[in-house]
Amino acid sequence: MSDRFPWLSIITLLPLIACLPIPFIPDKDGKTIRWYALGIGITELALISYAFYSNYSLENPGLQLVEKYSWIPQLGLNWSVGVDGLSMPLVLLTGLVTTLATFAGWNVRQKPRLFYFLMLVMYSAQIGVFVSQDLLLFFLMWELELVPVYLLISIWGGQKRRYAATKFILYTATASIFILVAGFAMAFSGDTVTFDMVTLGMKHYPKAFELVVYAGFLIAFGTKLAIFPLHTWLPDAHGEASAPGSMILAGVLLKMGGYALIRINMEMLSDAHVTFAPVLAILGVVNIIYGACCAYAQTNLKRRLAYSSIAHMGFVLIGIACYEDLGINGALLQMISHGLIAASLFFLAGMTYERTHTIMMDEMGGMAKIMPKTFALFTTSTMASLALPGMSGFVGELMVFLGMTTSAVYSPAFKVMVLLLAAVGLILTPIYLLDLLRQVFYGQPDSNLVIEEYLGDAKPREVFITLCLLVPIISIGFYPKLITQTYDRTTMLVATHVREVLPIIAKQPSSSFYSGVVTAPTLADTAEVQFKS
């Protein structure tokens, strides 16, 4: 039982409890329901901001705001929550993106009660994933998020919405089985049975057992992160989801996979991570090049943006694989940056669809003159996505590159290969994104294009939503410390913890990826000096 004020419990459960009265609120045209849901979202975001501002210490790299209550002792399930540098910024990202996505669904006319009910349920589930410190609770929150996303796609999606929703649930639900099996395997190993993630992280497992468990988690989290070849659900889901659904899919759900890879695979299964890290780096390169090439081949606006997301998640994998706290910092910054940028782009794509009733780029054209505000916002978001200096995307990708470049554990040949191939993706990204702008906004409009002129250009509500995402994108681009200071001490400890087990593996003849010249005491001492400074 925690003696602290239960900030995290309130933050996690508020949307879930607040959604329960929605079926009973008197409302004929949906106005009352949408104001109620938006009010809950704003309240939740305010609580998150206040709780972290007043109670979270940037100097403490460990878990904070910890609460632990016995929930179902027969199953060994505890309500155990806490945040550190890995989870705190992602909770803030979830609060901002989900609240704005709720506001983006302002014009929903079909089943508004159910729509806002599902949005609030998903709000709680997403935050629950990031704050859970019990592996079974983590799994329950992970599963709770799947059903609202499935329904949001299948009811409010496009023409192929049921196919996309079914594919999403089949991929993600099947992958979740690996979390359950691997989690139970860890919990029941050794003399004690526990689902506490801190305790599980301190256990010592047989190497073969740890490798199998790591592989299981990698399949589950890799599916959510859209790692090749587990990515095929993502373009269909994005292509058919409504604007609010796409904002949450790209802005938050992909980040759950990246967060879990760092929290569980890297932090709790460090020995196995040493074996899998080069594989993650290679998969990251594949994601970058494959995603960029597929993006350029798309004529569907949202599918192009979806493949762009797959490419950007490749940088997250490389950052996780490079062992340096700079690289892990870059991976986290890339997740936060992409969450903001992708949410902005998918919202603008949905706004464009409302006016043109088409999502095919070859059916558009010449819209810069018709919708100059939308053009300006879309161009700014696109520049951020292609990592223009002064935008958050540039800083995240630069930190990942520097993390891999300065890594002392990989052989020079391996680092050159990864960096050169990743650089190819950097070249391809501006090509397909600038081509997107050219097809949609330049030239002459397609003769068959019918624009709902009564909707006009971007409305004040739509401009406000986009600016709420662009302001932090530009702010982080010019002053990265705004966000990196929230997690740099935590990532330093995680990187040091992982590198301490590296030399045992690196000196083995089979480990050709590694240079084998780094010793654990040197790395640990260096990190300690940096930490104290």
- CA angle in degrees (0–180, nearest 5) for 354-357-358: 120
Q: CA-CA distance, 349 to 436, in Å (whole number)? A: 11
Residue length, the chain?
533
For the question of whether the overall pTM of this predicted structure is more than 0.75, the answer is yes
- CA angle in degrees (0–180, nearest 5) for 295-424-512: 120
How confident is the model at residue 524, as a pLDDT? 35
Q: CA-CA distance, 248 to 259, in Å (whole number)? A: 16
DSSP3 helix / strand / coil % (the chain, rounded to 5): 70, 5, 25
Chain-centre distance of CA 175, in angstroms? 17
- Token pair recorded at residue 501: 């087990």
Find the Cα–Cα–Cα–Cα dihedral 276, 278, 280, 282, rounded to 10°.
Answer: -140
Please report where in the chains the tokens 């960096």 appear, as a residue.
Answer: 419
pLDDT, one tens digit for every residue, the chain (533 residues): 455 789 999 999 999 999 999 988 887 777 889 999 999 999 999 999 999 999 888 888 888 899 988 888 877 788 999 999 899 999 999 999 999 999 998 888 888 899 999 999 999 999 999 999 999 999 999 999 999 999 999 999 888 889 999 999 999 999 999 999 999 999 888 778 888 898 888 888 888 999 999 999 999 999 999 898 888 999 999 888 888 999 999 889 989 999 999 999 998 998 898 889 899 999 999 999 999 999 999 999 999 999 999 999 999 999 999 888 888 999 999 999 999 999 999 999 998 888 888 888 888 888 888 888 999 999 999 999 998 899 998 999 999 999 998 888 888 888 889 999 999 888 999 999 999 999 988 877 766 666 655 557 888 999 999 999 999 999 999 999 989 999 888 888 888 888 777 654 444 434 456 664 443 333 333 333 333 33
Q: Which of 307, 305, 328, 324 is nearest to 316 (CA)?
A: 328
Please report where in the chains the tokens 């027969």 appear, as a residue.
Answer: 74
Secondary structure (DSSP) of 438-503: HHHHSSPPPTT----TTT-S--HHHHHHHHHHHHHHHHHHH-THHHHTTTHHHHHHHHHHHHTTHH
Question: How many C-beta neighbours within 10 Å does residue 204 have?
Answer: 8
How confident is the model at residue 514, as a pLDDT? 63
In the beta sheet, which residues pair with residue 410?
514
Burial (Cβ within 10 Å: 0-12, 13-18, ≥19) of residue 433: buried
Peptide bond into 229 cis (omega under 30): yes
The torsion angles phi and psi of 58, rounded to 5 degrees, stand at -70, -20
How confident is the model at residue 526, as a pLDDT? 34
Distances (CA, A) of 29 to 35, 39, 112, 113: 12, 18, 9, 10
The torsion angles phi and psi of 300, rounded to 5 degrees, stand at -85, 125
How confident is the model at residue 205, as a pLDDT? 86
Assess contact for 30 and 115: CB atoms under 8 A.
no
Give Cβ neighbours of residue 137 (< 8 Å, ≥ 6 apart): 71, 77, 78, 79, 80, 81, 128, 195
The torsion angles phi and psi of 371, rounded to 5 degrees, stand at -130, 75
Q: CA-CA distance, 71 to 78, in Å (whole number)? A: 5
- Token pair recorded at residue 461: 């509500």
> Hey, what amino acid is at 125?
A
Q: CA-CA distance, 468 to 451, in Å (whole number)? A: 26
Domain assignments of the chain as residue spans, ordered by start? 7-504
Assess contact for 205 and 186: CB atoms under 8 A.
yes
| Strand, helix or coil for residue 108 | coil
**Phi-psi map region of 206: left, alpha, beta (phi>0 left; psi -120 to 50 alpha):** beta
